[in-house]
């Protein structure tokens, strides 16, 4: 069983527990559920750098990254430094996040928020809106084409934006649909957790210009981003290179200042 298989198995158990304890009707009564969504895709398009800065305490590949800097401090730092978007890991067992992190983030910023988790059910999409998110992540490696279509269309029906994450050409084919706004090429193989930048460079030419294109994982230098921009990327999802510092927001600011 791969790490991804283990995560999805755990997610199904967690999902059943959540459904038993909080109904969809309850979620729809949350204060954030009826707020207007802030467009992540527009924010990336209107940015000089397109960086989605991520809050991530740990990961299966790196163990603890930063579990000491309060999330409010991290988010304020990202906000003040001019992030195009903020990605919040809400998986608890493997990444140390919680849904409460989404609420805390929404209370600290007006920058668009991406909920990053392993979404396999419409319930999680309703959760995302109820907790203040603006966009969801759908990972093609753990969803069928039919599921991507169903979940992305449902997200759009409640005004959330959709970022689909791919790792190869076969996964991409199921994501080229009207209900997807952003396509992210993940340089990390979710089965082995190995990182290869060639993944982004080789796949971007197959993504139509109708979609916002971002590169994810393993990015750590301004030279890498400048090179990837030349390949046609609009934005980048970065987390570990900022979060491993005591002041992630300051690290983001310094990074942006180094870009051309």
| Residues annotated as part of the active site | 54, 56, 116, 165, 186, 216-217
What is the H or E stretch that residue 177 is in? none
Task: Measure the CA angle with vertex 163, ends 136 and 135; round to 5°.
Answer: 30
Alpha carbon 40 to chain centroid distance? Answer: 11
Query: Interhelix angle for 145-157 vs 122-130, to 10°?
Result: 30
- Radius of gyration over every alpha carbon of the chain, rounded to an integer in angstroms: 17
The string over 49-84, giving b where at least 16 C-beta atoms fall within 10 Å of a residue's C-beta and e elsewhere, is bbbbbbbbbbbeeeeebbeebebeebbebbbebbbb
């Amino acid at each position: 069983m791969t790490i991804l298989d283990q995560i999805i198995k755990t997610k199904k158990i967690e999902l059943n527990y959540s459904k038993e304890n909080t109904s969809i009707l309850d979620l729809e009564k949350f204060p954030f559920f009826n707020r207007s969504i802030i467009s992540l895709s527009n924010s990336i398009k209107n940015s000089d750098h397109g960086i989605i800065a991520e809050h991530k305490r740990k990961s299966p590949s790196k163990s603890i990254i930063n579990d000491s800097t309060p999330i409010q401090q991290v988010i304020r730092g990202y906000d003040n430094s001019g992030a195009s978007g903020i990605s919040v890991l809400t998986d608890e067992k493997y990444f140390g996040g919680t849904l409460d992190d989404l609420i805390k983030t929404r209370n600290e910023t007006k920058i668009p928020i991406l909920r990053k988790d392993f979404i396999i059910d419409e319930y999680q999409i309703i959760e995302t809106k109820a907790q203040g998110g603006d966009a969801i992540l759908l990972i093609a490696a753990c969803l069928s084409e039919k599921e991507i279509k169903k979940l992305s269309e449902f997200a759009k029906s409640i005004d959330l934006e959709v970022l689909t994450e791919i790792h190869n050409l076969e996964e991409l084919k199921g994501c080229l649909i009207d209900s997807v706004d952003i396509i992210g090429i993940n340089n990390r193989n979710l089965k082995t957790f190995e990182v290869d930048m060639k993944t982004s460079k080789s796949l971007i030419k197959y993504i139509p210009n109708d979609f916002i294109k971002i590169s994810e994982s393993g990015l750590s230098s301004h030279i890498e981003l400048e090179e990837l921009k030349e390949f046609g990327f609009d934005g980048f999802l970065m987390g570990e290179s900022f979060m491993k510092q005591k002041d992630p927001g300051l690290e983001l600011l310094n990074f942006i200042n180094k870009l051309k």
